[in-house]
Structure 1
Amino acid sequence: MGSMGEPPVASNHQENQSQPLGRPWSTGLFDCHENQTNAVMTAFFPCVTFGQIAEVLDGGEMACHLGSFIYLLMMPALCSQWIMGSKYRTKLRKKYGLVEAPYTDVISHVFCSCCSLCQEFRELKIRGLDPALGWNGILAQQQARQYQGETQDVPPPAQAMSM
């Protein structure tokens, strides 16, 4: 038993449970310089970056051009593109168990939409799902890797000496 001034052990356990669980993002929210091509593309055409991310996260069910079009339509409507952006950011975080940091998904997309899209793009690319390739490009890349792995593991055919 501790003295009266010490907090009980149970409250320390509760404090630890209230902290966000999950892994950190591979790159920071403001690390756009790490992929300059994507940063420039997102600055001028955020709808394209969103479409690429949505296509990958939806496993090809939403085509890039459809996602881009939806995002583009929402931009003039009271700048409501943050709704779709934060929805897909949440989807990405849950898929990979990432923390909701440094801000909530909604706040990130309301105030830093381009930085958020760039961070999401980089996260997928680092995880081997390059949004710039599109879903079909990612599948083709995975099949090529699988094929290369199979051909490298095959031993040479049996050889015999002939006389």
Structure 2
Amino acid sequence: MDKDETTDNNGDPNAGELICTNSSNVQADHNGNPWSTGLFDCHEHKTNALMTVCFPYVTFGQISEVLDAGEMTCPLGSYIYLLMMSALCTQWLMGSKYRSKLRRKYNLVEAPYSDVISHIFCPYCALCQEFRELKNRGLDPSLGWNGILAEQRGTRYADQQMKIPPPYQAMKK
């Protein structure tokens, strides 16, 4: 008998062991990379946490603009989310859709809860986590898609030496 096995008084090696089985109906996707921050780590970016509590539709708009590579603008995404908030609290539909999109893009694990559950019961935490994930990957949603592109171009051009034109130029006939 291995020293890791435990037995009860009757000699049953599985006694005292918790046996967990996975139901085929309820399976979380535990394959993939971990998130850079946890679902409840809102304190890691206080400005975004406060913004999300007051204006969750703006945070969603920023996230959707980045994930859609500028095809959906922040104002349009915010407006759709706001409409869904007032329409029987159905904003979780859009939130979970974009959370799934983010997970697929970066091969992230669907944890600690499914995308739908995260956006039904913890919508602010889910939005903050998605915002932080994009920011930690170098895509700051608060800049917007065009701001991210400009920042990336600026970084690329900063490495090149700038040629200064001659100080005096004139045109002659």
Q: What TM-score results when the alignment is normalised by the length of structure 2?
A: 0.76
Q: Deviations over 1:84-137 (max 9, x none)?
A: 000000000000000000000000000000000000000000000000000000
Which residue matches 2:158?
Answer: 148
Q: Within 5 Å, which residues of 2 pair with 1:15-54? A: 20-54=30-64
Q: Within 5 Å, which residues of 2 pair with 1:1-163? A: 20-151=30-161
Deviation at 1:19, TM superposition (A): 6.7
Q: CA RMSD in A?
A: 1.6
Structure 2 residue identity aligned to 1:112: C
Query: Number of residue pairs matched?
Result: 136
Deviation at 1:150, TM superposition (A): 2.7
Relative to structure 1, the CA distance from residue 144 to residue 63 in structure 2 (aligned partners, 3 Å threshold; closer, same or farther) is same
Structure with the larger helix share: 1
The whole-number CA distance in structure 1 between the counterparts of 2:161 and 2:36 is 32
Deviation at 1:65, TM superposition (A): 0.1
The whole-number CA distance in structure 1 between the counterparts of 2:144 and 2:31 is 30
- Secondary structure (helix, strand or coil) at the match of 2:98 reads helix
The whole-number CA distance in structure 2 between the counterparts of 1:71 and 1:151 is 44
Relative to structure 1, the CA distance from residue 19 to residue 117 in structure 2 (aligned partners, 3 Å threshold; closer, same or farther) is closer
Runs ≥4 residues deviating over 6 A: none
Structure 2 residue identity aligned to 1:77: A
Contact 2:29 2:111 in 1 (8 A): no
Q: Deviations over 1:10-63 (max 9, x none)?
A: xxxxxxxx9721000000000000000000000010000000000000000000
Q: What TM-score results when the alignment is normalised by the length of structure 1?
A: 0.81
The whole-number CA distance in structure 1 between the counterparts of 2:112 and 2:157 is 40
- Secondary structure (helix, strand or coil) at the match of 2:148 reads helix
Structure 1 residue identity aligned to 2:113: Y
Structure 1 residue identity aligned to 2:34: P
